[in-house]
Amino acid sequence: MKNQDWIQPTLYPFKRHYVQLSQGTMHYLDEGQGETIVFIHGTPTWSFLYRDFIKSLSTQYRCIAIDHLGFGLSDKPKGFAGTPQAHSQNLQEFIDLLGLENITLVVHDFGGPIGLSWAIAHPQKVKRLVLFNTWLWETQTDKDAQKIDKLLHGWLGNYLYLNTNFSPKVLLKQAFFDKKKLSKPVHKHYLKPFPNKASRYGLLKIGQSLVGSSDWYQQQFEQIDQIKNKPALILWGMQDKFIRPTYLQKWGKTLPQAKIRQLESGHFVQEEAPQVSIAAIKEFMLENTPALL
């Protein structure tokens, strides 16, 4: 993304890195040294979502945060499939190129199926899991998902997403429980990556995959045993209108060993409760670090 003048260095004071993937150029952050933490965002966000986490955790760990193709400062190729499974293939290519091992994987929203599907295929490279509000099972029977799917496959949804920047402008704001936590400067950093219609196809395509990739989600879920015994931390915004607490209940049954923290926030826990979440991750990392003999 050529024009980056809108990025405030006080909010996002990181060196930009780029890697050439088969589908396009991916932007990522790579801060700090030590054990590797990889942060995976969903929609309509980008690595900016994890800025406070990286500022704090990079003093002890190597923190890597990608921007999916079609998001943030990465390329936005109109021809890219834009499905979670295509994003997961990009993630695999990225991790292979950087030669990452012993990863603590942090996922949120669509980043859940994107990151967890990679983890299921490469459990030997995964050390720990951190889940914010997300899912990994079929969505076609979910009535809320059905409504969104119907909208996004119609002319109105297409128009709103491509012509009005509806996802970061309206839906992102609606997903906050405490609207005061979304300041104008922060909101600006979610709007600016999508300046025109040509830049917004990634938003539309991943939105259409909420139900469109339902069978693929379920296929991944049925292989969850590959990572079921990894140390896991679940940080859950209980006031999420989109991914409801019933999903947390399912995660609790699926990952019974997971440590769960329920937070009074909406969908974007990273924005509404960053300090509590960061402290929980630090504690979790230390609890699951083998003691030196």
Question: What distance in Å separates the CA atoms of residue 133 and residue 176, rounded to the nearest whole number?
Answer: 13
Per-residue confidence (pLDDT) for residue 293, from 0 to 100: 44
- Given the DSSP bridges, would you call strands 259-263 and 232-237 parallel, antiparallel or unpaired? parallel
pLDDT tens, the chain, 293 aa long: 568 999 999 999 999 999 999 999 999 999 999 999 999 999 999 999 999 999 999 999 999 999 999 999 999 999 999 999 999 999 999 999 999 999 999 999 999 999 999 999 999 999 999 999 999 999 999 988 899 999 999 999 999 999 999 999 999 999 999 999 999 999 999 999 999 999 999 999 999 999 999 999 999 999 999 999 999 999 999 999 999 999 999 999 999 999 999 999 999 999 999 999 999 999 999 997 765 54
267 is catalytic: yes
Per-residue confidence (pLDDT) for residue 132, from 0 to 100: 98
- Given the residues 30, 142, 149, 240, select the one marked as catalytic: 240
Per-residue confidence (pLDDT) for residue 97, from 0 to 100: 98
* b/e 121-155 (16+ beta carbons within 10 angstroms → b): ebeebbbbbbbbbbbbbbbeebeebeebbebbeee
Listed residue (74, 63, 68) closest to 18, CA to CA:
74
**Domain-wise residue ranges, the chain:** 17-138+215-287
Q: What angle do CA 39, 31, 108 make, to 5 degrees?
A: 10
Look up the CATH number of domain 17-138+215-287: 3.40.50.1820
Phi, psi torsion values for 31, nearest 5 degrees: -125, 140
DSSP character for 23? T
Peptide bond before residue 44 is cis, with ω within 30 degrees of 0: yes
75 is catalytic: no
Per-residue confidence (pLDDT) for residue 3, from 0 to 100: 80
- Given the residues 109, 142, 149, 189, select the one marked as catalytic: 109
Whether the full predicted model's pTM is greater than 0.95, yes or no, is yes
- Given the residues 27, 41, 108, 267, select the one marked as catalytic: 267
Question: What distance in Å separates the CA atoms of residue 62 and residue 75, rounded to the nearest whole number?
Answer: 24
Phi, psi torsion values for 216, nearest 5 degrees: -65, -40
Per-residue confidence (pLDDT) for residue 258, from 0 to 100: 97
Per-residue confidence (pLDDT) for residue 288, from 0 to 100: 79
